[in-house]
């Protein structure tokens, strides 16, 4: 059961947002206070699981051996990138950037992490999409399924940051549950919990913002 304030805010956001020709994202805007974000430990970079998913397909790419790529073949919205294709990406920055823009999360077999970090880190790092390591020969299925229901939250050095918690087409109760999950996770990461949050707003992509806190 979602918090009543979250349900009320979601309903108000959905009522106030004009109809669009496309499906809008619903997102939180969170403003922090009393934190020195120049100190790395005060920054948040976390993959937050949503109880009701994101309301849209989540795309995952896996860098691995042919054997590892075979394990993800047939899983919807998952691309296996073997050694030959990885070599091509390393030579083609435009293609690499396109892949990064179209992919929500990356995984990589652990031995490939140094190469990917050195050669593709300049593209992946600033977008918060450095791969999660997968043990050599391991089964990535559980990790993939978890990522498909998650969002990545990053404050970097900013006191204000955003987190997409679902799509406008999702039921209000599900959106509200996702709101609660994200806020609880963020408060758990902050030194003083809720006391480090100045305000929280909820909005659709192009709709007006509604204050939650």
Cβ atoms of residues 179 and 163 within 8 Å: no
Which domain-ending residue is among 127, 147, 167?
147
- Asked if 64 and 94 sit in the same domain, the reply is yes
pTM: 0.87
22: domain CATH number is 3.30.190.20
Q: What is the DSSP letter of 131?
A: P
Residue found under tokens 């294709």: 85
By three-state DSSP, how is residue 1 classified? coil
Position 201 scores a pLDDT of 97
- Asked if 69 and 142 sit in the same domain, the reply is yes
Q: What tokens appear for 166 in the block? A: 């679902």
- Asked if 165 and 204 sit in the same domain, the reply is yes
- Asked if 168 and 114 sit in the same domain, the reply is no
Query: Half-sphere exposure of 14 toward its Cβ, with a 13 Å CA cutoff?
Result: 17
- Asked if 118 and 40 sit in the same domain, the reply is no
Number of domains in the chain: 2
What pLDDT tens digit does each residue of the chain (213 aa) get? 678 889 999 999 999 999 899 999 999 999 999 999 889 889 999 999 999 999 999 999 999 999 999 999 889 999 999 988 888 888 888 888 899 999 999 999 999 999 888 888 888 988 889 999 999 988 999 999 999 999 999 998 889 999 999 999 999 999 999 999 999 999 999 999 999 999 999 999 999 999 998
- Asked if 66 and 110 sit in the same domain, the reply is yes
Position 93 scores a pLDDT of 84
- Asked if 141 and 158 sit in the same domain, the reply is no
- Asked if 49 and 90 sit in the same domain, the reply is no
- Asked if 124 and 138 sit in the same domain, the reply is yes
CB within 8 Å of 201: residues ≥ 6 apart: 28, 29, 31, 209, 210, 211, 212
Residue 64: CB atoms within 10 Å? 27
136: domain CATH number is 3.40.50.790
Position 92 scores a pLDDT of 87
- Asked if 133 and 154 sit in the same domain, the reply is no
Position 195 scores a pLDDT of 96
- Asked if 41 and 82 sit in the same domain, the reply is no
Q: Which domain holds residue 205?
A: 4-55+150-211
- Asked if 186 and 128 sit in the same domain, the reply is no
């Amino acid at each position: 059961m979602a918090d009543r304030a979250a349900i009320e805010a979601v309903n108000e956001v959905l009522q106030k947002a004009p109809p669009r020709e496309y499906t809008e994202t619903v997102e939180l805007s969170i403003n922090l206070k009393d934190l020195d974000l120049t100190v790395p430990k005060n920054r948040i970079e976390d993959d937050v699981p949503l109880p009701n998913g994101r309301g849209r397909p989540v795309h995952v790419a896996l860098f691995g051996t042919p054997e590892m790529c075979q394990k993800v073949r047939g899983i919807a919205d998952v691309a296996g990138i073997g050694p030959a294709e990885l070599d091509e990406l390393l030579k083609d920055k435009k293609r690499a950037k396109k892949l990064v823009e179209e992919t929500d999360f990356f995984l990589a077999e652990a031995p490939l992490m140094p190469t990917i970090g050195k050669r593709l880190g300049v593209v992946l790092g600033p977008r918060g999409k450095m791969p999660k390591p997968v043990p050599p020969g391991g089964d990535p299925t559980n990790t993939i399924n978890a990522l498909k229901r998650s969002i990545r939250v990053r404050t970097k050095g900013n006191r204000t940051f955003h987190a997409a918690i679902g799509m406008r087409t999702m039921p209000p109760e599900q959106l509200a549950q996702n709101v609660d999950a994200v806020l609880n996770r963020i408060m758990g990461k902050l030194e003083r919990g809720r006391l480090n949050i100045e305000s929280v707003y909820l909005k659709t992509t192009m709709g007006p913002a509604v204050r939650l806190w």
